[in-house]
Structure 1
Amino acid sequence: MFVELNELLHASPERPEQGTFTLLRDTRTDGSFLVHHFLSFYLKAGCKVCFVALIQSFSHYNVVAQKLGVSLPAAKERGQLVFLEGLKSCFEVLFKEEPPTGQPNPLQFIREGGSNLKALYEFVRTSLTPSESDSWKCPVLLVDDVSVLLSLGMRPVDVLDFIHYCRATVCSQLKGNVVVLVHSREDSDDTENELVVNALCHQSNLILWAEGLATGYCKDIHGQLKIIPRGPAVLSTERDLPRTYQYKIQDRNVTFFARGMSAAVL
């Protein structure tokens, strides 16, 4: 996890919030560093995590997690992490191989012509419903990224229904958290994706919006991050106000600073 980001969000792994839906949004840049942050944050916090990884392989996430001080294989072995590797599941569906568990493939909608995401939801619900022997803190669903479901043929209404049921189960019923990454392009003709993005923005409790610089590439400033709380209509404190920071991604860390305050600029 990135300590500076925790400070900006007033978050601590010792006291993780519960019942929140956090939307990670990126435009003209790669916001995956936010996914790696929340994955390592919740594992260090002692939460039960269901990670629906639709973009990269398990080994990719594990390499990054090790740099952040977390071992994904160890988390899986002790039952803290349930990892759905989308690339492998797609292969099993397309070549009609049965999952090792013998249970229905969570991505079986690919073979069924994009009917619904019920199997994926049941996978999430089953993975995060606590057993009597569980000693983990609040359950967490992490999805990277939901835009892939549209690319695989799902309708926007099906994707939004899936997120709605996950929020109802994880956030409301189990008092846990949902964190979802979605890609967006403000000048895009992909109306379905933008419909999903806008709907998720309205449903979220917190939006972390990573944007590329309008001026283009810069080796010392990789982008800017908007922190947008979504709370009551009346904003009570300064921390409830939207804030914007610029950032630089390093090998094991991300540095944040106020706009125009980078050492490279000064």
Structure 2
Amino acid sequence: MSFSIPVGSRTLTPGGAYLLIAGPCMIESEAHCLGMAEKIAKRVAPYADQFLWVFKSSFDKANRSSGKSARGPGMEEGLAILDKVKREFGVPVLTDIHESYQAAPVAEVADILQIPAFLCRQTDLLLAAAKTGRIVNIKKGQFVAPHDMGKPVVKVREAGNAYGMITERGTSFGYNNLVVDYAGLHVMRRFGAPVIFDATHCVQLPGGLGDTSGGRREIAPYMAKAAAAFGVDGFFTEVHDNPDQALSDGPNQLNLELFEDLLPKLVAIREAAR
């Protein structure tokens, strides 16, 4: 497997520094985003040579269990906040897009455009993201087999973009539950694209609390450590300073203590696996 993907001032390569996508699920406010970026930056700093950190937060959570749930500030305000994070902390940023028309304006700020799991087969959305020239992070649908994730990657490449990535986030298992097929990580590596492990969405319980999703944040670090042993290229972790009060995905977001404790363990497992 071979890839070389420029991310900010650094490059993601096989066996190089982990890609670390970390930030709050939703942009709750400018102050919260900037505060979270500062707190995450402090915790990543001791391992800067081991992790290539990308700040993540969504300007719109279009897929919610209930129509009454908070969705975020919207594209214009959200991009302004992400741009401020990017400039003040010198960190690349990632955010989701849900509609093809969003790709171009979002690409003016975001270094990585993320395709939500439920939309990973939407051809027009993939092509629009690819044509911006930005990195395209394709979340694996909960309904998609690992061996079928090569098809979205090919769509991005055929649009002239060599910077597609795949993120595993679990597979639907009955009602309100997800499981991870770790063997699927090995399968997806064959497509020649970075394989990222979503440690927080894989422990989500979709719709498990009725109007909202539940989650088991306490097992997210264990899921991430298992993925490290399998040799993934990076990790996706949603992090919040008070996840029980978060406006979105609180039950599966890591608190700062869990996040800080996880980083050196991921590094140690990788070294042991080598």
What TM-score does the superposition give when structure 2 sets the normalisation length? 0.39
Higher relative contact order (CA 8 A, sep 6+): 1
What TM-score does the superposition give when structure 1 sets the normalisation length? 0.40
Which protein is richer in helix relative to its size?
A: 2
